[in-house]
Amino acid sequence: MVATATVLSIGVSPADAAPVSRTPAGGFEELIVPSSMGPIKVQVQWAARGGSAALYLLDGLRAPADHSQWTTDTDALRQFAGDNVTLVFPVGGHSSFYTDWYRPSSTNGQKSTYKWETFLTRELPDFLAGYGVSRTNNAIIGASMGGNAALTLAAHHRDQFRFAGSFSGFVNPTYPMWNEAMRVAMRDEGNFNVDDMWGPASDPAWARNDATNQLERLRGLPLYVTTGNGIPGAADVPFGIGNTLNAMSLEAMTVVAAGIFRDRATALGVSARVDVVNGTHTWPYWQQALTNARPMVLDALGVR
């Protein structure tokens, strides 16, 4: 777990913000951003030298309500502390797949409809623009649930993102019966109903939110897709046998999805870096993936 220095900035609006913000090295500021879903907490590490580029980092299925796991379970803050790029960590989105849902989940009493695509591509960039963050010079990376979302958000918003990365993402959700696997996972993680997200498997929303199906829209964008092969290593030891077995089974699915994505990209002639490494579905491997991705992100954004 990574210790961070936190500066709270609750309820600050762009009109009140200075054009250039600073946070201590390895630390972050917390903003409360208005949205159609209600106020959303966003943790931000500002660019080291006041630059306007930004990297959005998306959580997995168990996204906590009070913090981004990127700030506690990885050293992302330290990795980019000296770089002229703002790190943006949206908080929340539990079982949301960071997409715009059709309606609130009907199985858990959800009050408002998830509208995460709207938030990440309209409401949040508009808010951050008041702090001098570019609406157009951004990168986006997601782990697990956030991996496919990062790619599909970039596919449908090419004017916003210049790099996209998926770490152990389920990048082919239209694969036969994977909608049912998602149904089980979402029921287990908050009793959410997948039908209220994208409808039945035949609904066009599934293809729209499938990164493999959207590869043509990703043509020309620097892409990094990485997954473990499901073989546990030293990084799994602290998590115990039960968690490791679960992480192995999840990664067995993501490695299949990554292979489908790679083969489809090759067939279409779409350039993408796809790495399969030893490891399972857990944060230490995604921290290493971020280390691998960092030079690509900085190059794509034109910053150092």
pLDDT in tens, 177-191: 889 999 999 999 999
Give me the pLDDT at residue 1, please.
40
Give residue 269's pLDDT band: very low, low, confident or very high (50, 70, 90). Answer: very high
pLDDT tens digits for 189-241? 999 999 999 999 999 999 999 999 999 999 999 999 999 998 888 887 777 77
Cα–Cα distance list, 206 to 165, 191, 210, 236, 280 (Å): 20, 20, 6, 33, 26
Spatial neighbors of 124 by CB under 8 A, at least 6 apart, are 33, 35, 40, 42, 88, 90
Least confident stretch, 9-13, 157-161, 183-187: 9-13
% of the chain exceeding 70 in pLDDT: 91
Q: What is the pLDDT of residue 31?
A: 97
Per-residue DSSP letter, 81 = T
What is the per-residue pLDDT across 89-141, written as a single tens digit (0 to 9) for each? Answer: 999 999 999 999 999 999 999 999 999 999 999 999 999 999 999 999 999 99
Whether pLDDT at 11 is above 70: no
Report in angstroms the alpha-carbon separations of 182 from 20, 149, 175, 260, 263. Answer: 41, 14, 11, 18, 23
User: What is the percent of the chain with per-residue pLDDT over 90, rounded to a whole number?
Assistant: 81
**Residue with the larger pLDDT of the pair 244 and 272:** 272
pLDDT of amino acid 240: 76
So what's the pLDDT on residue 242? 76
> Residue 221 CB: number of other CB atoms within 10 A?
19
* Domain residue ranges of the chain, discontinuous segments joined by +: 6-301
**What pTM, to 2 d.p., does this model score?**
0.92
pLDDT tens per residue across span 46-78? 999 999 999 999 999 999 999 999 999 999 999
Is the Cβ–Cβ distance between 71 and 91 less than 8 Å? no
| Catalytic (active-site) positions | 144, 251, 281
CATH 3.10.180.10 fits 6-301, yes or no: no
What is the rounded CA–CA span in Å between residue 43 and residue 139?
A: 16
